Amino acid sequence: MSRPRTMRLDARAMKILAHPLRSRLLGALRLGGPASASTLAQALGTNSGATSYHLRRLAETGLVVDEPGGRGRERLWRAASEGHSWSPSDAAGDPDGEAANDWLEADSLRVLEERAGSWQDAKHRWPPRWRDAAGGGDWFVDLPPDRLRALLDDLAAVIDGYRDAPPAPDARRVLLFVHAFPQGDPP
Residue 22 to residue 116: CA distance in whole angstroms = 22
**Residue 37: strand, helix, or coil:** helix
Examine the pLDDT at 177 and tell me if it is beyond 70.
yes
**Residue 142: strand, helix, or coil:** coil
pTM: 0.84
Q: Which tens digit of pLDDT belongs to each residue from 85-104?
A: 999 999 999 999 999 999 99
What pLDDT score was predicted for residue 3?
67
Q: Which tens digit of pLDDT belongs to each residue from 101-135?
A: 999 999 999 999 999 999 999 999 999 999 999 98
Residue 64 main-chain phi, psi, to 5 deg: -130, 155
- Mean of all residue pLDDT scores within the chain: 92
Tell which residue, 182, 130, 177, 183, has the closest CA to residue 155.
177
Examine the pLDDT at 2 and tell me if it is beyond 80.
no
Residue 182 to residue 157: CA distance in whole angstroms = 22
Examine the pLDDT at 158 and tell me if it is beyond 90.
yes
